[in-house]
Amino acid sequence: MIKAIFFDFNGVIIDDETIQMKAYQEILRGHEIDLTEEWYMSALGMDDRTFVKAMFERAKRPLTDPVLETVLNTKTDLHRQMMEDGLPLFPGVVTFLKATSRHFSIGLVSMATIVEVGYVFQRANLTPLFSDEVLKERSSRLQSAIRLLIQAGADINARSRWWAGGFGVLDWAPPGVAMYAIERGATVTIHAAARLGRSRRLGERSLSSSWSSTNALPSK
């Protein structure tokens, strides 16, 4: 039985990928980075902070913490300015969300910042339709989504089905969210361990398991 439905934000509720790209193009041009559509589209799915770091690295430009924060804050302001004349919500999405919220709990699972989500939700009056967790910081929203999914019987180790290979929660979750999932039973794979900087710990655990198994073998 379906108890809750979770939605992404950019590209699902709001059709703003072009706006996001144009905002970044304008800002990064001031840092001598020519952000092409190909570069932008290849990075879809990244959160803003990871995206900016990746673009500076790709362009071989130095990036300090103050510059990073300036780029992120400027992008948020410019993104909002570009939507002043109207929110580019997908046609029918508000009606759909209203109808869905009458039968299910609905939540948000998104890499978008709380500032950008809050701005759109306030203007479109979407906040009352979603769970109380929706306007918390991104990590809190993701943790809440994991908790609710587990309560509904979801498999925390389930992997997506995709032609290039499946991926699970630890393959994309930020470190804090990943630890939250691990504490609730998520299995740390070799790929996840490398991404989260836990390779050494996984290696020590594997060696310990191998040693125990070897010592458990009956002597000949």
In a domain, 164, yes or no: no
The helix (H) or strand (E) run that includes residue 4 is: strand 4-7
Secondary structure (DSSP) of 138-204: HHHHHHHHHHHHHHTT--TT-----TT----GGGTS-HHHHHHHHTTT----HHHHHHHT-HHHHHH
Tell me which residue of 133, 97, 95, 104 sits closest to 117, measured CA to CA.
133
In a domain, 157, yes or no: no
Task: Kindly report the CATH number assigned to the domain that includes residue 92.
Answer: 3.40.50.1000
Same domain, 94 and 139: yes
Give the integer Cα–Cα distance in Å for 101 and 4.
9
Same domain, 36 and 61: yes
Give the integer Cα–Cα distance in Å for 87 and 124.
8
Task: Kindly report the CATH number assigned to the domain that includes residue 43.
Answer: 1.10.150.240
| Residue 137 C-alpha from the chain's centroid | 12
Secondary structure (DSSP) of 73-115: HHHHHHHHHTTTT---BPTTHHHHHHHHHTTSEEEE--SS-HH
In a domain, 220, yes or no: no
Report whether 40 contacts 19 (CB < 8 A): no
Same domain, 68 and 104: no
Range of the domain at 208: 169-214
Considering its fold, how many domains does the chain have in total?
Answer: 3
Contacts of 111 (CB under 8 A, 6+ apart): 10, 45, 46, 47, 48, 138
In a domain, 162, yes or no: no
In a domain, 161, yes or no: no
Give the integer Cα–Cα distance in Å for 26 and 138.
25
Model pTM score: 0.65
For 85, counting Cβ atoms within 10 Å of its Cβ (0-12 exposed, 13-18 middle, 19+ buried), the class is exposed
pLDDT value of position 60:
95
Same domain, 49 and 35: yes
Same domain, 185 and 207: yes
pLDDT value of position 145:
73
In a domain, 159, yes or no: no
Reading the chain (220 residues) residue by residue, the pLDDT tens digits are: 777 788 989 999 999 999 999 999 999 999 999 999 999 998 887 889 889 999 999 999 999 999 999 999 999 999 999 999 999 999 999 999 999 999 988 888 787 888 898 899 999 999 899 876 555 556 666 777 777 778 778 898 988 776 666 778 888 777 778 888 888 889 888 888 887 777 665 555 544 444 344 444 444 4
The helix (H) or strand (E) run that includes residue 5 is: strand 4-7
Same domain, 125 and 37: no
Same domain, 9 and 21: no
Same domain, 132 and 77: no
Specify the amino acid at residue 218. Answer: P
Same domain, 9 and 91: yes
89: which strand partners?
14
In a domain, 133, yes or no: yes
In a domain, 73, yes or no: yes
pLDDT value of position 168:
83
